[in-house]
Amino acid sequence: MKTTIIGAGIAGLAAAVRLAVAGHEVDVFEANATPGGKLSQFSLGDYRFDFGPSLFTMPQYVDELFELAGEDPRAHFNYVRLPDVCHYWWKDGTTFSAPADTEELAVRAESTFGIPAQRVRDFMATAEHKYETTGRTFLEKSLHKSSTWLDWKVAGTMLKIPGLDLFSNMNAVHERDLGHPKLVQLFNRFATYNGSNPYKAPGLLSMIPHFEHHFGAWLPVGGMFDISQSVYELGKRLGVNYHFNTPVKQVLRGRGCVVGVETEQGLVDADAVICNMDVWLAYDRLLDGAKKPKRTLSQQKSTSAVIFYWGIDRTFDELGVHNIFFADDYENEFTKLEAGELADDVTIYVNVSSKLVPGDAPAGGENWFVMVNAPADTGQDWDAWVKPLRTRVIARLSSQLNFVLPTPIAPASTPKNDLADHIVEERIITPTQIERLTGSHQGALYGSSSNNTMAAFLRHPNFSSDIGGLYFLGGSVHPGGGVPLCLLSAKITAGLIEKD
């Protein structure tokens, strides 16, 4: 069977491996010069940066691809577990390092916040129960095939849904189960893992911390780009044909089925076409005349981001690989995001991969990936917004890191008393550029948000019900965005193709 994949993001790369193992002749067409999509990399001087995702959970989904191909994952792809998942900072001076271990998390939470450790244990046990009860259904199966709902296990899961906080929001669940406002804020931020608002996203999503604090958080030994690069190399060994700098112009159809794709180099025949492009843009640009699923495509977009990539000429021992500096009024921050605006006081995420990947920065320096959640691009004047945002971010980080002069300082040197003085390389990305560089409509990082109870069911399915042989995968369709879910979308889609 000849199968064409549009887009070499991680979902497209993973699907190519699965289908090649199953005996398909696979061609992957990518508009960019390199594989990876959001999981790509670039350098600024002597500093290396991962372009997009910086958190790695559920590494077994990558290992599984090598095992399917009969290879030892450790011979091609390796990663280390983070002892502390994330370092949290509040303006009043409170700090908290969240460990990967659930029991240690409970003990540290009691010490820092005064909340009984048992409350945290109970909360995490509930998160595990939610995942084990619903995760296999919502994340690993198509929600748009009747065969899913005819499974007696799925029917049993649906009967349990009312007791799993689907009809509450995440904030309400965290206030009920944890109580302490800082701990509530800490767990609310997991809504941002799919670009959602914790004051609206269903409480069922309070299962997300289970991914980090039970399964663990990891970092590939060469940085996040190792994920996409290793899967790409695996595909090459399996005979997958990659075509870079080759955007697809149209999906070709005949008699209700796909027959191939059109590129600038000509027409390519195919028995099946898999689209790893943002589903909104796919209908807009590649499926001329096709019926659009208006309800699905009109869903609220997930958040986007403004990202500052900074090469820093000194080190900060107080920072870990992952760091969150919380805004005081978290709810107001999300209210502003939903209004298409940025709050004056924003939460700041700082990722420093050079803490564990020394080659990512020169000796005595660090590579900072600094991200602020932003609304999807609906025409905002990002150029006007970025400069004052940069000023506020630098002032906030300088203040909270108790900025001190590096020692020793030569008498004749110019004092460096602000973080800005240590930024020697810089690149800034806005939602407009995210759309242009990654093909994510409006720069939304996760396609649609999960801000309503039925969000999981309203995502676009992994197949077209109108066009035979057309399939979809990636962060804008079921089961959602983020590396683990994109890998699962590839598994679901490859499975559907094999059944069909």
Encode pLDDT of 7-30 as tens digits. Answer: 999 999 999 999 999 999 999 999
The pLDDT value given to residue 494: 97
pTM above 0.85, yes or no: yes
pLDDT in tens, 304-360: 999 999 999 999 999 999 999 999 999 999 999 999 999 999 999 999 999 999 999
- What is the distance between the alpha carbons of residues 389 and 391, in angstroms, rounded to a whole number? 5
Q: Is 74 exposed, middle or buried (0-12, 13-18, 19+ CB in 10 A)?
A: exposed
The reported pLDDT for the residue numbered 411 is 47
Confidence at residue 416, expressed as pLDDT on a 0 to 100 scale: 63
Cα dihedral 66, 71, 74, 76 sign? negative
Q: What is the largest CA-CA distance in the chain?
A: 79
C-alpha distance across the termini of the chain, in Å: 12
Q: How many CB atoms lie within 10 A of CB 25?
A: 15
**Residues with Cβ within 8 Å of residue 68, at least 6 apart in sequence:** 17, 18, 21
Question: 208 falls in which pLDDT band (50, 70, 90)?
Answer: very high
Residue 52 has pLDDT above 80, yes or no: yes
| Alpha carbon distance 303, 455 (integer Å) | 15
Please report which confidence band the pLDDT of residue 163 belongs to, taking 50, 70 and 90 as the band edges.
confident
- β-partners of residue 86 are 98
Q: What are the tokens at 234?
A: 């695996």
Q: Give residue 450's pLDDT band: very low, low, confident or very high (50, 70, 90).
A: confident
- The first and second tokens of residue 106, run together, are 């409970």
pLDDT at 226 over 80: yes
Q: Domain segments of the chain: what residues?
A: 2-41+56-80+224-299+459-499, 83-215, 304-438
Q: Tell me: pLDDT of 481 over 60.
A: yes
User: How large is the average pLDDT for residues 388-397?
Assistant: 96
Q: Please provide the average confidence, as pLDDT, over all residues in the chain.
A: 92
68-81: average pLDDT: 97
CATH architecture of 2-41+56-80+224-299+459-499: 3-Layer(bba) Sandwich (3.50)
Q: How confident is the model at residue 410 (pLDDT cuts 50, 70, 90)?
A: very low
